Structure 1
Amino acid sequence: MTTTTARHEQEYGPRGASPLRVPVFRRFLLAHLISATGSAMAPVALAFAVIGNGGGAQSLGIVLAANTVPTVVFLLLGGVLADRMSRSRILFLGNLGAGAAQAAVAVLVATGTASTLTISVCACFSGVSAAFIAPAAQGIAVRLVPKEQLQQANALVRVPGNAVKIIAPVVGGFGVALAGPAWVLAWDAATFVVAALLLLGLRLGGSVSPRGGVVGDLRAGWAGFRSRSWLWSYTVAGTAVVAAWLAGYQLLGPLVAEASYSGARSWGLVQGAFAAGLLAGTFVCLVWKPRRLMLVCVLAGSGIMLPLAALGLELSLTCVLVAAVIAGIGLDVAIVSWSTVMQQQVPDAELGRLGAFNAVGERIAIPVAYLLVALASKHWTSQHILLWCAGIILAATLANAAVRDVYRIERA
């Protein structure tokens, strides 16, 4: 046995072993699981906190916008810092900040002093924290496990979040009904703090030394982003795909469920089916290791057009549920494949910034899509718009699949 092999087996276990044999990865996974249990319950509690304060759809929309916009605005700065500082420390501070924001909301709601303005301010701070957490988390796995274990590691990180998405909203709903939204929000705050302490304990070394100013780092990151056609083409396609998906699924889905199916009950089943598909897709990634990862990523992600098409055609609820399961499987396969491609193809020193450029590109058109759908709904039915959304996803996928470099990216 060579010295390199002996060192590898001492740190990571035998080659081909599970990432779960790596102690620091288990710690990271535990932190993610704890945080996910609170994050999956929080939307229900936040919605009812706004409603309980006398707010309606407009107030909730303001709160959600206050959370989303800062994330997009600060993502690029988060990417720069992820390449310049200790990523474990960024995750620690980010989770601590998110926990403080949720704790403030919990106190406001519990004391009866909450308003749309105060909740929005807290949501804004939470969104800023998310902007720093996401790029740093993108580059954590590559420092915890060897490259041959990256797909398994990325899939295992997805398991806790996908699993709790099935049951946590139900538990959160019961918690809000029995104890009130303040207690559920307090639980979410506590999970962020515990996760922060676990992440600080990772003590990951090897942070990238800064080479210049923030603007210079952004320029270098943009040059790296443009030089990879598989990356920028996927981001451009994702701008259309993500916007069409969210506008169709989140905005029009509940409306069509109310008009053509049995309302909230049917929509709850669709969401449960989609979450079950996400969890199933995670387990697919644990056993299936395709060679052309980038092509699989592009094609698998297109499955999200199926529930939109099924709702647009007003197929039976059974067909919609099957489509939602397939969409969930495909989307999770795409997410795990994409994370693995990024970690294998992008140098560690650029991972934060290039991931941030991708994230901004995929999010930037979402508000525009919501506005366009609102305007189009005055002239077309929701079903027609859903079919257009499905068509946009299909067209963007085919265009992306035609990019030559998509076929060239293979598993490292």
Structure 2
Amino acid sequence: MTADQRERAALPAESPLRIPAFRRFLLAHLVSATGSAMAPVALAFAVIGQGGGARSLGIVLTANTVPTLVLLLMGGVLADRMSRSRILFLGNLGAGAAQAAVALLVATGTATTFAISVCACLSGASAAFIAPAAQGIATRLVPMEQLQQANALVRVPGNAVKVIGPVIGGFVVSFTGPAWALGWDAVTFAVAALLLLGLRLAGSVPSGDGVVGDLRTGWAGFRSRSWLWSYTAAGTAVVAAWLAGYQLLGPLVADHSYSGARSWGLVQGAFAAGLLAGTVVCLLWKPQRLMLVCVVTSSGIMLPLAALGLELPLIWVLVTAVVAGIGLDVSIVSWSTIMQQQVSDGELGRLSAFNHVGERIAIPGAYLLVAVASAHWSSRQILLVCAAVILVASLANACVRDVYRIRRAG
């Protein structure tokens, strides 16, 4: 048992905030979120500013996604073998270096689609190691009965910052350009990296089967859980349609049909307000059928895509963004709790990696497909197709029996 685990066991089961290591983890999320909240607006308009459209932005987003897909399984293996705090330290440093490079390119006027794509590759590679390691941090810091509360608390500061971050980011981009917002994001990644390194969490005992053997064992565990692979399969369509619509087409529609960076910043701020409200819901509501909650609430992200596709007034786009944010955050917190309660610590990294790969594997194809389709269809038409894909995939997932079987542990 590590020092953190002994400390955790000695405390009464009241709140994760009583645990110093958890508070450090929480602070790292807050610091990083102050930069990450502005980064999507800045990156989108950095590409648009150098003359790029849907095709250029699609290339950049694809370059960010492909390295994540390629390296995620290795990230899962390492998360089950090595110190997760050290992995998060190195991953945040890599992401910070990538954002610093983009900021420098934009500030000096030398940014091109190719150069931004190279930096996006580095950022995507870092994310491949961050995601599986982060999934298993809470299980090392808090008791099982506090996992949902811990998962919700981790999202509170980040979501709170995201409420005003995109709005500020939109105004910063409008008045000073995207370089300043991207540079700030790089600084916050570096500070968060130092905080996460201070957790000093030891790794699990290696299985002795090697990387290939660990992957085979992880795949067997993933395949044996129908609730896990069915949710992942539905997520393949849902995540691809959401990101292609929201990240790729959203800024372009805002630029053409609304007031550009300012209106898109408001949309992202409204979405973040929904995320924050969803976190509050998770602190107060502890449903028993967590899987069913995941499936139903995650489908709400179709609403802002439909609103943008129908070119509704901005106020209605903001309302749907709030509703989507509430549903998505409830889904994320519930899903993290399910994984942490239903999967052992020694295989959590690998099974999380398989889940992440499954949910992201269609994203590059979706970006490229939208880029090609934009030559023949309007952005509004493609957004409506994306909304329909999310609805159909969610309804199909709701028909799986295990969705109703998985309940809250403890």
* TM-score normalised over the length of structure 1: 0.88
**Equivalent position to 1:338, from 335, 338, 349:** 335
Give the aligned partner of residue 327 of structure 1.
Answer: 324
Q: How far does the alpha carbon of each residue in 1:97-136 deviate from its partner, in whole angstroms, 9 at most, with x for none?
A: 2223333444455566655444433332222111101110
Structure 1 position 99 matched with structure 2 position 96: yes
Q: Which moved more, 1:279-288 or 1:192-201?
A: 192-201
Q: 1:264 to 1:24 in 2, by over 3 A?
A: closer
In 2, Cα distance between the equivalents of 1:286 and 1:295?
18
SS in 2 for 1:152: helix
The one-letter code of the counterpart of 1:99 is: G
Give the drift of 1:312. 4.1
Give the drift of 1:256. 5.1
Identity fraction in percent: 81
**Equivalent position to 1:248, from 235, 238, 245:** 245
Structure 1 position 361 matched with structure 2 position 358: yes
CA contact (8 A) 1:258 1:264 kept: yes
Give the drift of 1:404. 1.2
The one-letter code of the counterpart of 2:52 is: G
Structure 1 position 273 matched with structure 2 position 276: no
Give the drift of 1:190. 2.2
Give the drift of 1:407. 1.1
Structure 1 position 231 matched with structure 2 position 228: yes
The one-letter code of the counterpart of 2:122 is: F
In 1, Cα distance between the equivalents of 2:241 and 2:277?
24
Give the drift of 1:321. 2.8
In 2, Cα distance between the equivalents of 1:109 and 1:329?
34
In 2, Cα distance between the equivalents of 1:268 and 1:133?
26
**Equivalent position to 1:196, from 193, 197, 200:** 193
SS in 1 for 2:37: helix
Give the aligned partner of residue 14 of structure 1.
Answer: 12
Give the aligned partner of residue 37 of structure 1.
Answer: 34
Q: How far does the alpha carbon of each residue in 1:160-184 deviate from its partner, in whole angstroms, 9 at most, with x for none?
A: 2222222223334555566665444
Q: 1:183 to 1:387 in 2, by over 3 A?
A: closer
Give the aligned partner of residue 410 of structure 1.
Answer: 407
Give the aligned partner of residue 135 of structure 1.
Answer: 132
Q: 1:85 to 1:283 in 2, by over 3 A?
A: same
Q: How far does the alpha carbon of each residue in 1:269-292 deviate from its partner, in whole angstroms, 9 at most, with x for none?
A: 433322211111011101100011
Give the aligned partner of residue 367 of structure 2.
Answer: 370
In 2, Cα distance between the equivalents of 1:117 and 1:278?
33
The one-letter code of the counterpart of 2:12 is: P
CA contact (8 A) 1:238 1:361 kept: yes
Give the aligned partner of residue 3 of structure 1.
Answer: none
Q: Which runs of 5+ in 1 are unaligned?
A: 1-6
Give the aligned partner of residue 4 of structure 1.
Answer: none
Q: 1:248 to 1:106 in 2, by over 3 A?
A: closer
Q: 1:233 to 1:37 in 2, by over 3 A?
A: same
Give the aligned partner of residue 389 of structure 1.
Answer: 386
In 1, Cα distance between the equivalents of 2:111 and 2:311?
41
Give the drift of 1:203. 1.1
CA contact (8 A) 1:55 1:116 kept: no
The one-letter code of the counterpart of 2:68 is: T
In 2, Cα distance between the equivalents of 1:276 and 1:408?
31
Structure 1 position 56 matched with structure 2 position 16: no
Structure 1 position 83 matched with structure 2 position 80: yes
Give the aligned partner of residue 122 of structure 1.
Answer: 119
* TM-score normalised over the length of structure 2: 0.88
Give the drift of 1:194. 1.6
The one-letter code of the counterpart of 1:148 is: E
SS in 2 for 1:349: helix
Give the aligned partner of residue 208 of structure 2.
Answer: 211
Structure 1 position 400 matched with structure 2 position 393: no
SS in 1 for 2:204: coil
Q: How far does the alpha carbon of each residue in 1:196-253 deviate from its partner, in whole angstroms, 9 at most, with x for none?
A: 1111111113523243221111111111110000000000111111122223333444
In 2, Cα distance between the equivalents of 1:49 and 1:258?
13
Give the aligned partner of residue 221 of structure 1.
Answer: 218
Give the aligned partner of residue 300 of structure 2.
Answer: 303
CA contact (8 A) 1:11 1:22 kept: no
Q: 1:262 to 1:129 in 2, by over 3 A?
A: closer
Give the drift of 1:386. 3.6
Q: 1:315 to 1:375 in 2, by over 3 A?
A: same
Give the drift of 1:308. 2.9
Q: 1:248 to 1:220 in 2, by over 3 A?
A: same
Q: 1:95 to 1:386 in 2, by over 3 A?
A: closer
Give the drift of 1:367. 2.6
Give the aligned partner of residue 292 of structure 1.
Answer: 289
Say which one has the larger Rg. Answer: 1
Give the drift of 1:86. 0.9
Q: How far does the alpha carbon of each residue in 1:361-398 deviate from its partner, in whole angstroms, 9 at most, with x for none?
A: 11111232234445555665555544433332222112
In 2, Cα distance between the equivalents of 1:88 and 1:262?
42
Aligned-CA RMSD value: 2.8
